[in-house]
Amino acid sequence: MKTTRVFVLAREPLFAQGVRSLISGQTGIEVVGVATVGPEALALMQAAAPDVVVIEARGEEQAALVAQVLEVLPQTKVVGLSPDDNRLHIYYAQMRQGRRVEDFLEAIRQPPEWPAGRLPALRVYLLFQGFYGSRIADNLRRHAPANWAIEAWRLPPDLAAVLDGLGVAEPVVLCGLSMGGYVAFQFWQRHARRLKSLILCDTRSQADTPEVKANRQQTAQRVLAEGPAFLAERMVERLFAPATRERRPDLIAAVREMILRADPEGVAAAALGMALRTDMTDRLGEICMPVLVIVGREDAISPPEEMGALAAAIRGAELVEIPDAGHMAPVENPAAFNLAIGEFLDAIVPLTG
């Protein structure tokens, strides 16, 4: 077993020594340095050349320290310990969460790379709606592993009929983004036997509150009367992380144009459909299959706290936060998004060869 070199960086010296005592002597782990947060810490860390940096800090301070570490040691994995909620966070291309000592030791030992060639050849069926869905299909084709065959269709109303028409009898992995998550929940209710697993991305299980329902009804009426132009700026602000709006004017312009071209009747129907959707929160515990929950770290519509609660309610669900992304994580950070899905599929699809 390869030895993992670990550097411990903590706000409290006593905490740093406690972590050192916990992991010293563990199989496959070598502590190469311990420091408290301060001006000299990064230099000491660089000199130690660790594989993993363990950080003890809270909230925004932890996020800032993670950013500093990854800037000077970009190939290093960072395990953040949060004393406030006894939770650990693993940062590199993705984020995971855990609470047990075993989770902590596994977080250190697990290599950050996605080993090449481990995934079997996959045939991926992508069912999408509208212009934005076509952009997701394009990004998936561009960034997916070379041995994935991507087949995409625009989504008609009956998803089960699509699978029947394709001759797909085996259980499938169904990924739902935003409103697609609502579709995924309904498909699970009606056709659970046809699912191998679920991927729920930037979505929610709760039904709308009376106030939100009223707002959706007003939006539907206004769209039918005026068209969708008034939604363009409002939605762009909510859909994307600030960094995306600043760095990706091409993407923002494309989505704004998509909204402007949208059929008013379709927009109104979507708003009314969301207002009438079923609350699935109390049924999350009934889902008995592998589930991956993905959320953009800066999602203002389905915030990480809410997505974390959704994941916690599903037995064994895995939560991944996508950095530098809001509600549109697949197109804001497609590399990290595809990595998260790839690792999830790697775990649930039997390896071949």
* Rounded Cα distance, 16 and 183, in Å: 46
Domain regions of the chain by residue span: 4-109, 122-207+277-348, 210-273
Q: What are the angstrom distances between the C-alpha of 169 and each of 120, 184, 233, 347? A: 20, 18, 43, 22
Other beta carbons less than 10 A from residue 271's beta carbon: 20
Give the predicted TM-score (pTM) of the model: 0.58
pLDDT in tens, 150-164: 777 665 456 787 788
What residues contact residue 68 under an 8 Å CB cut-off, 6+ apart?
Answer: 42
Superfamily of domain 4-109, CATH level 4:
Response regulator (3.40.50.2300)
pLDDT in tens, 309-351: 999 999 999 999 999 999 999 989 888 898 888 889 888 876 4
First vs last C-alpha separation in the chain? 23
pLDDT score recorded for residue 44: 92
pLDDT score recorded for residue 93: 38
Superfamily of domain 122-207+277-348, CATH level 4:
Alpha/Beta hydrolase fold, catalytic domain (3.40.50.1820)
Three-state secondary-structure class, residue 338: helix
What residues contact residue 133 under an 8 Å CB cut-off, 6+ apart?
Answer: 154, 155
* Rounded Cα distance, 345 and 251, in Å: 28
How many CA atoms lie within 13 Å of 91's alpha carbon, on the beta-carbon side? 23
Residue 87's DSSP bridge partners are 82
From 4-18, 36-50, 129-143, 250-264, the region with the lowest mean pLDDT: 129-143
DSSP-derived pairing of the beta strands 195-201 and 29-36: unpaired
From 118-127, 181-190, 318-327, the region with the lowest mean pLDDT: 118-127
Residue 200 vs residue 262, higher pLDDT: 200
* Rounded Cα distance, 64 and 37, in Å: 12
Ranges of H-type helices in the chain: 13-23, 41-48, 59-72, 101-109, 130-143, 159-166, 179-191, 210-226, 229-239, 242-247, 249-261, 264-275, 304-313, 329-332, 334-348
